[in-house]
């Protein structure tokens, strides 16, 4: 059985995700027989609470073509594209049975993306980026200009599209990990990433989240599989969809308790950014004002959003210095359970857990990560229309489809 890995958020799962899975499998050009997804949990890479908790999103994926869903721990999911990609690749590689890493991209050309990756890995490009950032350019702007100088404008233009950029980070992670997984890309179809208007039956996750927030759940139907539409409808009716503003003052309260030293220990804090964030926290009465006060050309909003939630949850830069200490299974289909049996028989480089109670036996690093995941889940609950009690993620069973 040829197994493909996907690193995803499914926030929420939509027709574009279904298209990606379909074209990863053997009936299309991908030639895979099964799909394993590593999925972010309660907080996402863009620096926001997820629309729904990871169990509902895992069930939506399992009902729509994924065979096994694994959790990407929050220090990696609430991080830069490079760290997000590294965590996902480390988990898939540790399984020992995933042959292919499949991802979407705007260009759909793996050779072109590999060309950009080679330019980025050139020491001249790295040195030029540092020099450009010293002039005040953001990381993204410095990277694009350096690639244009050493690889040409056509390659640099690929970095203008978010899925291309994330795919290039996947390629970098595969290289750094010495992975033998073959990279494979499916061209993104329909609406662009973050587009607030659909194209045909394809809409961006951003557009779909806006529909849910506006109470227009029935309008999702053309853009998500039927089973996902039903799951979302029930979740919204039950009051378990999230709205960031519901926890806004809780987030601000925690940030006002953080010292400059604690802010300086956050991931990706440098050049005195902790001072700017510290001052903004003390002046702002809402998150929008905080982001406005702290944002500069060098510090884009998404970076600040991630910093705010890292500070809220108590995540420090050193938490991703080693690979994830365990692999937590969120759910599986029958085929996924076959994969799990094979993985357990062959052994894994990282412990595989299907019950939270197993983590207690794995040592201090695993217990600390579990405590952080539970804290993230309990605080995420405050963003729900109807907050759930603490500890729900401790007792939630593996989903079986």
pLDDT for 318 = 93
- What pLDDT, in 10s, does the model give residues 232-288? 999 999 999 999 999 999 999 999 999 999 999 999 888 788 999 999 999 999 999
pLDDT for 204 = 94
3-state helix/strand/coil string of the chain: CCEEEEEECCCCCCHHHHHHHHHHECCCCCCECEEEEEEECCECCCCCECCCCHHHHHHHHHCCCCCEEEEECHHHHCCCHHHHHHHHHHHHHHHCCEEEEEEEECCCCHHHHHHHHHHHHCHHHHHHHHHHHHCCCCHHHHHHHHHHHHHCHHHHHHCCCHHHHHHHHHHHHHHHCCCCCEEEEEECCCCCCCCCCCECCECCHHHHHHHHHCCCHHHHHHHCCHHHHHHHHHHHHCCCCECHHHHHHHHHHHHHHCCHHHHHCCCCCCCCHHHHHHHHHHHCCCHHHHHHHHCCCCCCHHHHHHHHHHHHHCCCHHHHCCCCCCEEEEEECHHHHHHHHHHHHHCCCCCEECCHHHHHHCCHHHHHHHHHHHHHHHHHHHHECCCCCCCHHHHCCCEEC
Average per-residue pLDDT for the chain? 94
pLDDT for 348 = 84
pLDDT for 55 = 97
Domains along the chain with CATH numbers: 3-106+183-242+324-400 (3.40.50.620), 244-319 (no CATH)
pLDDT for 28 = 63
pLDDT for 198 = 87
- What pLDDT, in 10s, does the model give residues 112-128? 999 999 999 999 999 99
Residues (pLDDT < 50) of the chain are none
* Model confidence, pTM: 0.95
- What pLDDT, in 10s, does the model give residues 192-204? 787 778 888 899 9
């Amino acid at each position: 059985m040829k197994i493909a890995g996907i690193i995803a958020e499914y926030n929420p799962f939509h027709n574009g995700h279904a298209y990606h899975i379909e074209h990863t499998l053997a009936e299309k050009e991908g030639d895979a027989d099964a799909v394993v997804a590593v999925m972010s949990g309660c907080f996402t890479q863009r620096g926001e609470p997820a629309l729904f908790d990871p169990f509902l999103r895992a069930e939506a994926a399992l009902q729509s073509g994924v065979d096994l869903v694994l959790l990407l721990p929050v220090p990696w999911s609430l991080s830069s594209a490079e760290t997000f990609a590294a965590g996902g690749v480390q988990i898939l590689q540790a399984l020992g049975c995933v042959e292919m890493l499949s991802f979407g991209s705007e260009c759909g050309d793996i050779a072109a993306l590999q060309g950009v990756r080679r330019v980025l890995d050139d020491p001249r490009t790295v040195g030029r980026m540092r020099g450009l950032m010293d002039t005040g350019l953001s990381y993204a702007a410095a990277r694009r200009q350096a690639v244009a100088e050493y690889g040409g404008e056509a390659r640099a233009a690929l970095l203008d599209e978010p899925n291309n950029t994330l795919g290039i980070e996947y390629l970098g992670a595969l290289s750094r990990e010495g992975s033998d997984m073959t990279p494979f890309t499916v061209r993104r179809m329909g609406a662009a990433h973050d587009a607030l208007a659909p194209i045909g039956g394809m809409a961006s996750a951003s557009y779909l989240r806006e529909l849910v927030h506006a109470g227009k759940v029935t309008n999702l139907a053309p853009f998500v599989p039927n089973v996902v539409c039903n799951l979302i409808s029930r979740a919204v009716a039950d009051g378990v969809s999230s709205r960031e503003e519901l926890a806004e003052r809780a987030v601000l309260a925690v940030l006002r308790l953080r010292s400059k030293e604690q802010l300086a220990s956050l991931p990706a804090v440098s050049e005195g950014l902790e001072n700017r964030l510290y001052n903004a926290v003390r002046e702002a009465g809402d998150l929008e004002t905080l982001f406005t006060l702290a944002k500069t050309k060098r510090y884009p909003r998404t970076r600040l959003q991630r910093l705010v939630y890292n500070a809220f949850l108590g995540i420090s830069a050193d938490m991703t210095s080693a690979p994830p200490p365990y692999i937590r299974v969120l759910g599986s289909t029958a085929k996924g359970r076959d994969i799990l049996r094979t993985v357990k028989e062959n052994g894994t480089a990282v412990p595989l857990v299907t019950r939270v109670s197993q983590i207690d036996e794995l040592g201090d690093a695993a217990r600390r990560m579990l405590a952080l995941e539970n804290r993230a889940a309990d605080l995420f609950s405050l963003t729900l229309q109807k907050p759930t009690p603490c500890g729900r993620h401790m007792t939630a069973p593996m989903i079986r489809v």
